[in-house]
Amino acid sequence: MRLATFTSIWAQKSPVTDAAVLLPLYGWPDDPGLVFTERRADLRRHAGEISFPGGRKDDADADLRETALREAHEEIALDPSKVDLGEALPATGTFVTGYRIHPFVGHIPHPGELDLKPNPAEVETVLTFSLDVLRNAYEMRRLIRRGVPIHTPTYEVEGQMIWGATARILGDFLERV
């Protein structure tokens, strides 16, 4: 089976679900960093992965910006009034789960000034990494995902591996700043 055929079949069987993530940016421009979550290891989807706070759009959400803010509040208790929403980045897709993720950059106070708490139902821990550390952590790697080898951008920081859609979004963001 040719790749184009496989991609076409996959696209027909996998409906796209819109989701949004927030890239909580703090310390801009002097000492910038981003907030991430480590998802719980027992979740059905994206278990144990490092990601930006976010999730699927709910019917009650006015738009995807609201989705990103709502999800960040639900996942890490980030008060939406403390977020100055900025640029929307290009959407990126997930290959296995069929999500189209819409990323939004949001300027926030330093995490030490906020009362960020992981939602124990979804998030194992809240992580913060400086942009300098993230830039230096970039590496293309060959990973095995569900038995399939993939060549993907990664960022390994403090024993945490950022890969997949989160790494693609992060790479796009780092190219822009």
Say which residue, 40 or 107, is predicted with more confidence.
Answer: 107
* CATH architecture of the domain formed by 15-176: Alpha-Beta Complex (3.90)
pLDDT at 14: 54
- Has this prediction a pTM greater than 0.85? yes
Examine residue 32 and say whether the peptide bond preceding it is cis (omega within 30 degrees of 0): no
**pLDDT tens-digit readout, 21-51:** 999 999 999 999 999 999 886 776 666 699 9
pLDDT at 6: 37
pLDDT at 83: 98
Residue boundaries of the structural domains of the chain: 15-176
Name the region of 72 (left: φ>0; alpha: ψ -120 to 50; beta: rest): alpha
